[in-house]
């Protein structure tokens, strides 16, 4: 069902409103190497069109009559696992919650429908949101097809179906070195930065952390307003630690995860020996709001060097300057490995700048973080290190 090497990625647009189908088709058609092959007003019709139009990627509205986005996604994952799905969600609490379920059910990512009244700005917003996700999908798909070209026809089908359910990952070679930086004597706070692919990655990380870490955890996930609250609720329902969307003047508590709210920067401040969170409405940093850099750069003056940082899957370079600031204070820096990232962007720049002490696979991340926080023991067996 895939495209041939060098051919366009074939896209189906599914939305219950004529206007939005038109907007999404125009936006997608403006992207390089993309061909819109079909559209549908609901999931039921979309499923009937798949065998005829053979899309590689589906942009799927969350809320629709007859068959909604979540039901449709589950049917696609069951019957057509090779097709990528990007959810398209309105910015309200109900749709944000459904989107979180969709991401955990196999959607590769989501974009939020713009709520402004300026049509040109809305279209540009959708282009900026979709382009990097589609580009990563294209890169992965072409890589898969190159691999498949070396197989027989029967092997090709089997390998394709097996590979396409794996994370979309940019292939990057990781060099090794023999010795990591020294760990701080103790860890007083865990700081996490993550973006594209983050909700699913966090769902494989945060719920596996023990309830007695005895430190606070602060986290920036690049997301619009509403979605960070749904992400926090989703993680909280699965985790032994309490997970909340942070609010202004929240006092940091041990064994609690604070997620920066979408549309606000989150920074740490201290007053009368009490550490609290401040929500900052200053301009975006690295085109991000919340920004990992803003959070990380606020931490050292309070916690000195007793800090563990983790940079996970995501596009761009947000977090790099923050990690540099933390490293100057003596922080221990972990990055997620390339092979376990949806997008090896944010971890990659930290590695290339020489400020990652250790690269850890997503499946091992919770156990390694717990080991460092509770034992402060540097065990090298099976660890991937990154060259400084």
Distance, C-alpha 355 to centroid of its chain? 21
Catalytic residue among 39, 61, 68, 222: 222
222 is catalytic: yes
From 68, 188, 318, 357, the catalytic residue? 318
Asked if 362 and 205 count as a contact pair (C-beta separation under 8 A), the reply is: yes
Sheet hosting strand 57-61, strand order edge to edge: 34-40, 9-14, 57-61, 84-89, 109-112
- In this structure, how many other beta carbons lie within 10 angstroms of the beta carbon of residue 249? 11
Q: Which of 39, 129, 195, 291 is catalytic?
A: 195
152 is catalytic: no
Of 84, 177, 140, 155, nearest to 339 by C-alpha is 140
Catalytically annotated residues: 195, 222, 318
């Amino acid at each position: 069902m895939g495209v041939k090497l060098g051919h366009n990625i074939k896209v189906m647009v599914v939305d219950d409103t004529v206007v939005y189908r038109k907007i999404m088709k125009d936006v997608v058609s403006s992207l390089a190497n993309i061909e819109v092959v079909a559209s549908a007003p609901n999931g039921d019709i979309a499923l009937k069109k798949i065998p005829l139009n053979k899309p590689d990627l589906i942009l799927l509205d969350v809320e629709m009559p007859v068959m909604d986005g979540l039901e449709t996604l589950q049917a696609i994952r069951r019957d057509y696992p090779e097709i990528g799905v990007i959810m398209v969600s309105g910015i309200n609490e109900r749709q944000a919650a459904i989107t979180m379920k969709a991401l955990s059910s196999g959607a590769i990512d989501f974009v939020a429908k713009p709520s402004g009244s300026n049509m040109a700005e809305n279209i540009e917003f959708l282009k900026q949101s979709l382009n990097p996700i589609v580009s990563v999908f294209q890169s992965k798909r072409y890589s898969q097809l190159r691999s498949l070209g070396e197989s027989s026809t029967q092997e090709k089908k089997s390998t394709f179906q097996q590979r396409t359910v794996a994370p979309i990952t940019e292939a990057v070679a990781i060099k090794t070195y023999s010795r990591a930086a020294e760990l701080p004597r103790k860890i007083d706070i865990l700081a996490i930065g993550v973006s594209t692919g983050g909700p699913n990655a966090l769902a494989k990380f945060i719920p596996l952390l023990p309830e007695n870490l005895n430190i606070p955890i602060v986290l920036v996930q690049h997301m619009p307003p509403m979605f960070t609250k749904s992400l926090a609720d989703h993680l909280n329902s699965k985790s032994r630690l309490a997970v909340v969307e942070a609010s202004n003047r929240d006092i940091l508590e041990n064994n609690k995860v604070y997620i920066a709210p979408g549309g606000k920067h989150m920074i740490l401040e201290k007053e009368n020996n009490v550490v609290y969170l401040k929500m900052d409405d200053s301009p975006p940093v690295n085109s991000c709001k919340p920004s990992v850099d803003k959070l990380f750069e606020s931490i050292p003056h309070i916690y000195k060097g007793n800090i563990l940082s983790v940079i996970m899957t995501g596009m761009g370079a947000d977090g790099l300057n923050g990690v540099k600031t933390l490293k100057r204070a003596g922080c221990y820096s972990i990055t997620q490995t390339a092979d376990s990232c949806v997008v090896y962007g944010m971890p990659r720049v930290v590695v290339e700048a020489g400020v990652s002490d250790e690269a850890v696979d997503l499946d091992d991340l919770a156990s390694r973080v717990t080991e460092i926080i509770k034992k402060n023991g540097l065990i090298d067996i099976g660890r991937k290190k990154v060259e400084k």
